[in-house]
Amino acid sequence: MSKAQPVLIAGTWRDSKSVGSFEPDNPRTRQSTGETYPVSGLEEVEEAVEAAATASEQLQAHYPEGVARFLEVFADRIEARRDEIVEMAATETGYPTSPRLNDIELPRTTDQIRQAAAAARDRAWSMATIDSASGVRSMFAALEGGVAVFGPNNFPLAFNSIAGGDFAAAIAAGCPVIAKANSSHPGTTRLLAEEAFAALADARLPPATVQLIYRTEHDVGKRLVGHPRIGATGYTGSRHAGLTLKEAADLAGKPIYLELSSVNPVYILPGALRERSDAIAEEFQASCLMGTGQFCTNPGIVVMLKGADTDAFVQSVSGRFDDAVVGTLLAAGVESGMTDSVETLAGAGAKLITGGKAEAGEGFSYANTLLTVTGKQFLTNPETLQTEAFGNESLFVIASDLDEAIEIARHFEGNLTGCVYSDTEGSDDEAYERIEPLLRRKVGRLLNDKMPTGVAVVPSMNHGGPFPATGHPGFTAVGIPASLLRFTMLQSFDNVRPHRLPAPLQDANPLNIQRLVDGTWTDAVVG
């Protein structure tokens, strides 16, 4: 076993006071990458939290200019080292270097970081509110303490715990980050952390603004998110681990933003199938198998009404699934998770249409898989039949009539997305109008005539949704500036002397932002 890689704690790359170690795998070879990473113990985590709390105090003096500058330098540095980073990410995830990593995910990552830098500078998201008669003013600003970020396995760059969406949002809000690397791509995270640490020096920010550990035991992770001096946590990953952390954070009264599982129900109404069955089948296949189905917004449940058009659609998709290349999965755990989930679904009555077999492609893999249940079966066991199979799988729920399809919508758990395909002639309109009010409030993002994969990084995006898709239905993990608000607090200033007010609230409006002044949005000066 190679020497364990160092952790980044309190401004220093150093050997971990580790309580164990692990080796990540190359998913295409099913073998270790040859690197060894430490498991951090309680002492190291305590030290990181204290260092982040101190950095949190210090960062106020560097906000926003130093913070924005850091993010910009960091984005430049990622691009300067892109070949090495992309190669490492490809080795650790099995994703293709091009286009996925080099041409899609890396540009998205640096674009997000630069958007975050711009958001830190302009502070339009502070929602500056001024009531002149009462002398009260308010805005959102960074909460106190560091932010722990647990990144997911499926976006080694764009959701990396260093460089990804939660990282960029926390830093742009003004919070230091303690990153817990995802265990399936610690090397990618280490390279990104090296660049972040160098960028901190360039921007003269406190060196403990970014810290990195790779793995902890469960109790230590719980201590991290519930530590009296932590500020908040951003977590993207499995439901089980997420709920364990949520419980610890909640007990301590610490905000935790989770992105957990989601089956992303898609309704395909009868008129739409009559009108454009082939086009929808093609869209569905592309969305469901993209990235070997390892997207948070993968369409995992499709609801259709019983009938010949539906039978033909199922046949068509099944053929496409059989013909499609079986992609590589991210890790041994994802492969075994597919086996377990498909077994769980089958145990609840789902019938296999195609697939259902592990090691069906290169490296970690599972055959492209479709299952089906009747609407009636679904309604007898809706919880189990919403088990997420994280990967290239989907469950077709065939309702006997529209009333049953509507009743199914009442039984969905919270999801990131929900879609409805309807025809363009109006024959599906009545069904739409009955389904939409139910589906709308079960999901963060409602789509028409479009598959849910593909998450635009725009202010109106909601990559969130009701529990258990996330921990709170009011916040999004994607979309700047909204994603920053997770790491802020509401601050009122009551009768505070004018020269002591922060820039967003000063009469002269030095940031030239839109503010809610006496009930009206305006960029005018006050008084």
Binding to a second copy by residue 142, rule CB under 8 A?
yes
Catalytic member of 296, 388, 393, 404: 296
Catalytic site includes residue 430: no
Specify which residues 252 forms β-bridges with.
none
Round to whole Å and give the CA distance between 195 and 193. 5
143 binds a second copy (CB under 8 A): yes
Work out the angle between the directed axes of helices 106-122 and 82-93 (0-180°, nearest 10): 120
**Cα gap 84→390, rounded to integer Å:** 28
Give least dist CB 513 to a second copy, A: 9
Of the residues 49, 130, 230, 326, which one makes contact with a second copy according to CB under 8 A? 130
Return the number of the residue (12 or 448) whose C-beta is nearest a second copy: 448
Binds a second copy (CB under 8 A): choice among 104, 489, 503, 526: 489
Q: Of the listed 259, 388, 393, 413, which one is catalytic?
A: 259
Chain positions 409 to 468 lying near a second copy, rule: CB under 8 A, are 414, 417, 432, 436-438, 440-442, 444-450, 456, 458-462, 464-468
259 is an active site residue: yes
Site for a second copy in 242-301 (CB under 8 A): 246-247, 250-255
144 lines the binding site for a second copy (CB under 8 A):
yes
Q: For a second copy, which is the closer residue by CB, 332 or 446?
A: 446
CB of 452 to a second copy, least distance (A): 8
**341 contacts 389 by C-beta, under 8 angstroms:** yes
- Residues 103 to 122 in contact with a second copy, rule: CB under 8 A: none
Q: Are 237 and 152 in contact (CB under 8 A)?
A: yes
Choice between 233 and 374, CB closer to a second copy:
233
Torsional sign, CA 97, 100, 104, 109: negative
126 binds a second copy (CB under 8 A): no
Q: Which two tokens stand for residue 53?
A: 């709390």
Residue 54 vs 354, nearer CB to a second copy: 54
Closer of 40 and 453 to a second copy (Cβ): 453
Interface with a second copy (CB under 8 A), residue from 485, 504, 509, 511:
485
| Pairing of the two strands 7-9 and 12-14 | antiparallel
**Count, residues near a second copy per rule CB under 8 A:** 73
Shortest reach from residue 273's CB to a second copy, in Å: 18
Name the E strands within 41-156. Answer: 129-131, 136-142, 146-150
Decide if residue 99 touches a second copy (CB under 8 A).
Answer: no
- Return the H-helix or E-strand segment holding 396: strand 393-399
> Bridge-partner residues for 450, per DSSP?
none
The strand ranges marked E within 56-195 are 129-131, 136-142, 146-150, 177-180
d(CA 516, CA 390): 43
**Contacts (Cβ under 8 Å, ≥6 apart) of 492:** 136, 137, 138
User: Coil, strand, or helix at residue 172?
Assistant: helix
Q: Which of 2, 31, 134, 380 binds a second copy (CB under 8 A)?
A: 134
Smallest distance from a second copy to CB 419, Å: 9
Report whether 230 contacts 236 (CB < 8 A).
no
Q: Which is nearer to a second copy, 173 or 398 (CB)?
A: 173
Catalytic positions: 259, 296
